[in-house]
Amino acid sequence: MIFESVTLHYFDYLPGKKKTAALGENIHLLLKDAGLQYTYIRHKNNEWPEIRQDMIENKKIFSPTMPFVEVDGFAFNKTAPAMRYLSKKLGKYGGKNEEEEYTLDAIADCTHDYWRAILPVFFATDEAILNEHMEKTTLKYLDIFERAFAADPSGPYILGLELSYADILVYHVLDDDNALGKAKEYPHLAAFIESFTLRPNLVDYFNTLASS
């Protein structure tokens, strides 16, 4: 599937956070890994009321949130559903059968739960609060994801050798929680992170992020 026009929309960079922070980066990584030509627009917060109204009135999005994507005139949003839609259109990043699709859906739900648990401490700087979050939340999800990646011994991804949209969600939620370093203490997560960051369409991007 070759798209004529792809545009990803998300909010502008968050003060004090990496430019990759929050939900837009999930779709960004999928588009980049797929090797698609696309435009990524980061909108100022004060633009949101107008964008929201346009999404409702003109783009026919009934629950306007960002990120949202426009592909050849069709607009769609909600992070995981948007990634599933793109996966189906591209013919990759999804499951090959109902059982694999279920696995990816379940892990996507776990990343959503994890993200919701991160939000209360997303801008926290107090070491006591961050340490408590690590003990109560981060380690819980590292255990969950380690079991998920261990399930298919052919690895390094959730479904073995093929990257899925759920892999991308796991990588980025760990990054948003500043937990990639800790995740490398888990053998299957470590193998996943190494493989993912060395993918041909992503390696230069990650190197650029590391040097910025």
Q: Class assignment of domain 6-90?
A: alpha beta
HSE-CB of 110 using CA atoms within 13 angstroms: 23
**Are domains 6-90 and 98-197 of this chain identical in fold?**
no
Query: Tens digits of per-residue pLDDT, 131-167?
Result: 999 999 999 999 999 999 999 999 999 999 999 999 9
Q: What is the pTM of this model?
A: 0.97
User: How are beta strands 6-11 and 68-71 bridged, if at all?
Assistant: antiparallel
Domain 98-197 CATH assignment equals 1.20.1050.10: yes
The tokens describing 14, both together, are 């968050």
Give pLDDT, residue 3: 93
Structural domain boundaries in the chain = 6-90, 98-197
Q: Which residues contact 168 (CB under 8 A, 6 or more apart)?
A: 26, 29, 30, 33, 83, 93, 196
CA 173 – CA 144 distance, rounded (Å): 13
Give the pLDDT confidence score for residue 195 in this predicted structure: 99
Pairing of strands 39-43, 6-11: parallel
For residue 156, say if its preceding peptide bond is cis, omega within 30 degrees of 0: yes
Q: List phi, psi (to 5°) of 177.
A: -95, 10
